[in-house]
């Protein structure tokens, strides 16, 4: 059966991967994609103009009639927008209200994170924005499905400074044996596309491409490099939380989406265990080769070896 899925934020990193999955083999070949983008950018046209099954709709999140028009005839909305309160709360609430008005049946919010539902109030700004939007979604007369996936594995070799490759250390806070959930962006995108086409998807779908600890990551790196990597205590989650509060108080741009202090908050939520996933269902959409932490760091080591050769 033909499904029409609207993707908001389809010009972004995760959003573009989701569109690729909706057009690829894991989705039904009749799936139609609507890309919702804010006016004036031109990026969506540059990315999708040649795709037969993609329609581009430009609308500001403050323009309700334009949003409702873009959403009419849509079966499911995927939000992959990124930002702080003005995006996660204001833009997503406008999108949700328009979806309800247009008679859309299903909505997937831009969560794609560790489990934000039980984190201590004041401990993680980005998680608490998701929790606040989830309350709005819960009260809406349509079906919401959140995809929770832990941290993006890709960040281990980029923005998340947990592995000190040069110093052969893997940082941990409080415990080197705390289980940490990681899933690659591509694996998350596949699940999101499948959730959008799954009329029976529950309120939350949890996946974890790999479950590791600081200790197991150090062992993996020792094996891959042939030189010992050791777990390095970097403090407790309590001290990290205090540092993030100081960083936040001193920060100039309070609305940056991923400032360093928010990265610290992410580690606090993960290493305290508060954001660990407890209902992982990796089999929901059948067998899949989830990309492991080992594969991601191995690819990184190969790239850096080539660059330094």
Ligand X SMILES: NC(=O)c1ccc[n+]([C@@H]2O[C@H](COP(=O)([O-])OP(=O)(O)OC[C@H]3O[C@@H](n4cnc5c(N)ncnc54)[C@H](OP(=O)(O)O)[C@@H]3O)[C@@H](O)[C@H]2O)c1
Which residue in 279, 256, 297, 234 sits closest to 114, CA to CA? 279
* Shortest CB 287 distance to ligand X, Å: 24
Binding mask 103-122 for ligand X (x = CB under 6 A): -------x-xx---------
Residue 197 tokens read as 């086409």
β-strand 4-8 against 76-79: which pairing, if any?
parallel
Selected from 3, 83, 259, 268, the binder of ligand X by CB under 6 A is 83
Is 162 a residue that touches ligand X (CB under 6 A)?
no
For ligand X, the nearest residue by Cβ is: 12
Binding mask 12-51 for ligand X (x = CB under 6 A): xxxx---------------------xx--x--x-------
Selected from 23, 54, 68, 80, the binder of ligand X by CB under 6 A is 80
If binding means CB under 6 A, how many residues of this protein chain bind ligand X? 24
Quick one: 14 or 221, whose CB is closer to ligand X? Answer: 14
Residue 268 tokens read as 């606090």
The piece of 5-13, 65-73, 162-170, 192-200 that touches ligand X (CB under 6 A) is 5-13
Is 11 a residue that touches ligand X (CB under 6 A)?
yes
Is 218 a residue that touches ligand X (CB under 6 A)?
no
Quick one: 113 or 145, whose CB is closer to ligand X? Answer: 113
As to burial, measured by CB atoms within 10 angstroms (0-12 exposed, 13-18 middle, 19+ buried), residue 208 is buried
Which residue in 269, 47, 292, 75 sits closest to 186, CA to CA? 292
Selected from 19, 32, 56, 61, the binder of ligand X by CB under 6 A is 61
Residues in contact with ligand X by CB under 6 A are 9, 11-15, 37-38, 41, 44, 61, 80-83, 86-87, 91, 110, 112-113, 151-152, 155
């Amino acid at each position: 059966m033909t499904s029409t899925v609207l993707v908001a934020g389809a010009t972004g990193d995760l959003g573009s991967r989701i569109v690729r999955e909706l057009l690829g083999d894991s989705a039904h070949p009749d799936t139609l994609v609507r890309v919702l983008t804010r006016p004036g950018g031109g990026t969506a046209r540059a990315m999708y103009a040649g795709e037969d099954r993609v329609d581009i709709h430009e609308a500001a999140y403050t323009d309700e009639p334009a949003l409702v028009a873009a959403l009419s005839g849509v079966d499911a909305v995927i939000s992959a927008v990124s930002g702080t309160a003005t995006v996660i709360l204001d833009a997503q609430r406008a999108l949700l209200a328009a979806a309800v008005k247009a008679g859309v049946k299903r909505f997937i919010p831009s969560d794609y994170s560790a489990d934000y539902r039980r984190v201590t109030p004041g401990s993680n700004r980005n998680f608490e924005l998701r929790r606040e939007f989830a309350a709005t979604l819960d009260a809406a007369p349509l079906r919401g499905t959140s995809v929770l996936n832990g941290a993006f594995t890709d960040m281990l070799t980029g923005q998340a400074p947990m592995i000190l490759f040069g110093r052969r250390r893997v940082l941990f806070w409080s415990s080197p044996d705390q289980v940490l959930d990681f899933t690659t962006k591509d694996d998350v995108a596949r699940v999101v596309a499948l959730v959008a086409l799954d009329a029976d998807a529950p309120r939350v779908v949890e996946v974890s491409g790999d479950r590791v600890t600081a200790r197991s990551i150090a062992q993996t790196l020792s094996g891959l490099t042939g030189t010992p990597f050791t777990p390095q205590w970097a403090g407790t989650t309590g001290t990290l939380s205090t540092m993030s509060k100081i960083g936040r108080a001193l920060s100039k741009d309070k609305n940056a989406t991923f400032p360093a202090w928010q990265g610290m908050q992410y580690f606090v939520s993960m290493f305290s265990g508060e954001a660990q996933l407890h209902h992982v269902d990796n089999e929901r959409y059948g067998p899949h080769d989830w990309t492991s932490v080992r594969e991601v760091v191995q690819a990184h080591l190969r790239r850096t070896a080539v660059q330094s050769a």
